[in-house]
Amino acid sequence: LDASLPRLEGRLEIAGLAGEVKVTRDARGIVRIEAGSLDDLVLAQGFVHAQERFFQMDLARRFAGGELAELVGERALELDVEKRKLGNHQVAERMLARLEPGERELFARYTAGVNAGLAALDDVPPEYLVLRKEPRGWSAADCLRVGFYFFDVLSFNERYEREVGVMDACLPVELVDYLTPDVAANDVTIVGSAAAAAAPLPAAEVFDLRRQEIVKPARDLVRTFDDLGLGSNSWAVGAARSKSGRAILANDPHLNIGLPNVWFRMELDWGAGRALGATTPGVPGVVIGSNGRVAWGLTNGMVDHEDLVIVEVDEDDPGLYRVPEGLESFGERRETIAVAGRDPVEIVVRRTRWGPVVGEDVLGRPLALKSTGLDPETHDFSFLNMMFQTSLEEALAVAAGWRGPAQNVLVADDRGRIGWVLSGFIPARRGFDGKRPVSWADGSRTWTGALDESRRPRLLDPPSGLLFSANNRLVPIAEARALSRLWVPAWRARRIAELLDEKPGFDEEDLLAIQLDTRVAQFDRYRDLALALHPEEPEAKALRVALAEIRAWNGRADLDSRGLHLLKLFGERLREALIAPLVAVCGERDEKFVYNWPAADEVVFRLMAEKPSHLLDPAASSFEALARATFAKLVLEIDGDPGLGVDMPWGALHRPAFEHPLGKVPPLNHFLNLPRVPLPGDANALRAQSNRFGASMRMVVAPGAEEKAILESPGGQSGHFRSAHYGDLHEAWVEGRPDPMKPGAVVSTLVLAPASN
């Protein structure tokens, strides 16, 4: 096991280097690479990534390429089949061929470093010993496949289109639109007005639950949006709003938690420039960070860059489908999937002019996926150029031109200025809005190219001196609907705006404190509703205790907060009670259907306010009676559960797991996982934390003052469980203790030298 630990000291000759490169680490394992050229630096970065995190890199490329079953067996076969349909392997090769010569050389140099780093280990990383496999070498196309992994993580419109497609097949469109709002009562924007009208209430003539035959589903049909782990926060304060007179940027991307952490911290110095911050093992450069002149951060832009196309198959020949010109043959590609422990599996992938066939709708019609991520002409890696920019305008121009998964890119520069732009290829649609699957057969519906650049959302030097983004709708509704119909409710965004408005000036630790804020205003409405439903003290003791707890709740997700778990569960149960009867027919028609709309709470409180009797479960006498019964049933269940209890503090129930991918297997879990400890925060708090996801890092930096910058990250630098740096950054992240962004005093030095032969 120890033979596969990374090389930290000494001198090592590496083929391909033009000059010596110094790789130093501080006491936390934070790496600094000093090279005389960018070419040598990128090669050395690949070397370090492979030495510390090769298995993580391997999983990312295998996930994207549909090759996990080759490592872990049949349990990953279904996922591999889905990924093979996308053809990411072929897309990566086509993208590689389209890169500019300088970009191709960058990936080639990084790849050479990765393979040198893997070869320099005295044994294979420990995961391969457990799996009894040999690691496969790296390729330049694998770097692009790691990019596809992130595209998949950050893109989810397809799954919501499937959900809407099932509802469209089973319910009137007026009810579907009521159940899938893209506006909320608490919306807050940074450009223009947030005001917008919600979809009208469907009339009883359109849909009347009292005349429906409701079959109680055997499973829950409404899933909590928190489970998806979507989110990220970022904000910037200009010179006039900071104590130092410098612009400061804060960013905490929220991703699935696990070991090792998704980011690897580095400072890179190539003589002509430097950059530091978060790097991604498998990809060269700094993804989020600062170069002394500009600092940049990301939040998911929620842009819809995927559409499901209903394919109209010819009735006489199933090998043909309808296109605007007439009929066209499906393309076919055979894929062989290696599976550990059994024979390979062969599948046939069908393709249309719009993209691969990825499944069928509830009516049995093929669905093709049109996605910017599957088209080399609408997807690129130009964002890596961010670390070379020296001004706000330059950095925003690079961000605007990036054709990856659309991100809100916030930038601060060393002159005290701040700006925001929405990146990515944004499709311009004709004839439809992208919310639901539609046929493109007659040519009336299609993509006409990219949204005109003059309509790309951006903002420079706002008069307020403030910018913020938390996956919410940032622009007026008319502009927003050209981008997406899916936004995260603005609870986090509104809280950021409130806290930034409380003080005239901020420093780095002030902004870190905002990242650690635990206010969860989303549950105020559920508290108020529960109390309003019980104007008099109930007879049942458990109900009296429960109401007292939520009445005294401090509005936060702190370790000692009581009542929060009651309100979260009340929200889940009430969403199910109110919405499941409306979508029950969807669950009957499609065994995989789940209603999971981000703004489901807007539907709940509209129903409670509007009280449409034709949308009420006929088994209930009123909306209030249904809500009251839901709350009472929940409380009585919890009161009888020794693991919950109506007076349990949040910390007793909130212990997220930081697990290695192999950490579910005893006895490996004892070595590979970190101890579960109580953590404050919630999916709806700025300190975002659920059992599945959280802040993958917390960065606060003023470009030009990196010595004061903060960067906290869970876990540790190394992916090797025998390393001293496997989990040594975790305590600072758990405690919210400022961890310096810059590497500290050098404790180890490795010199990489050109090969003598």
Give the model's pLDDT for residue 153.
85
Give the model's pLDDT for residue 292.
98
H-helix segments, 262-336 = none
Cα 203 to Cα 659: distance, rounded to the nearest angstrom: 49
Query: Residue 237 forms beta bridges with which residues?
Result: 248, 466
370, containing H or E segment: strand 366-371
Query: Both tokens of residue 547?
Result: 């109401």
Instruction: Give 381's pLDDT tier (boundaries 50, 70, 90).
Output: confident
pLDDT digits (tens, 9 = 90+) for 599-610: 999 999 999 999
User: Residue 146 in contact with residue 283, Cβ under 8 Å?
Assistant: yes
Q: Is residue 21 predicted with pLDDT exceeding 90?
A: yes
pLDDT digits (tens, 9 = 90+) for 608-636: 999 999 999 999 999 999 999 999 999 99
Instruction: Give 229's pLDDT tier (boundaries 50, 70, 90).
Output: low
The angle formed by the CA atoms of residues 723, 727 and 730, to the nearest 5 degrees, is 160
Length of the chain counted residue by residue = 757
CA distances from 40 to 284, 419, 746 (A): 12, 32, 21
Give the model's pLDDT for residue 155.
85
Cα 345 to Cα 335: distance, rounded to the nearest angstrom: 8
Query: Both tokens of residue 628?
Result: 């009251």
Q: Is residue 227 predicted with pLDDT exceeding 70?
A: no
Across 672-720, where does the E strand assignment appear?
693-695, 698-701, 710-712
Give the model's pLDDT for residue 579.
97
pLDDT digits (tens, 9 = 90+) for 62-88: 999 999 999 999 999 999 999 999 999
Give the model's pLDDT for residue 231.
84
Instruction: Give 154's pLDDT tier (boundaries 50, 70, 90).
Output: confident
Instruction: Give 281's pLDDT tier (boundaries 50, 70, 90).
Output: very high
How far does CA 382 lie from the centroid of its chain?
Answer: 20
Q: Is residue 8 predicted with pLDDT exceeding 90?
A: yes
User: What type of residue sits at position 143?
Assistant: C
> Nearest-CA neighbor of 150 among 332, 312, 298, 326?
298
DSSP state of 134: P
Instruction: Give 421's pLDDT tier (boundaries 50, 70, 90).
Output: very high
pTM: 0.96
Give the model's pLDDT for residue 170.
96
CA distances from 544 to 530, 541, 636, 641 (A): 12, 5, 11, 17
pLDDT (average), residues 287-311: 97
H-helix segments, 332-482 = 392-401, 477-480
Cα dihedral 456, 95, 429, 232 sign: negative
Query: Both tokens of residue 646?
Result: 């109506």
Instruction: Give 643's pLDDT tier (boundaries 50, 70, 90).
Output: confident
Cα 519 to Cα 500: distance, rounded to the nearest angstrom: 14
> Nearest-CA neighbor of 559 among 626, 656, 464, 703?
656
Cα 17 to Cα 117: distance, rounded to the nearest angstrom: 13
Question: How many Cα atoms are found within 13 Å in the side-chain-facing hemisphere of 377?
Answer: 4
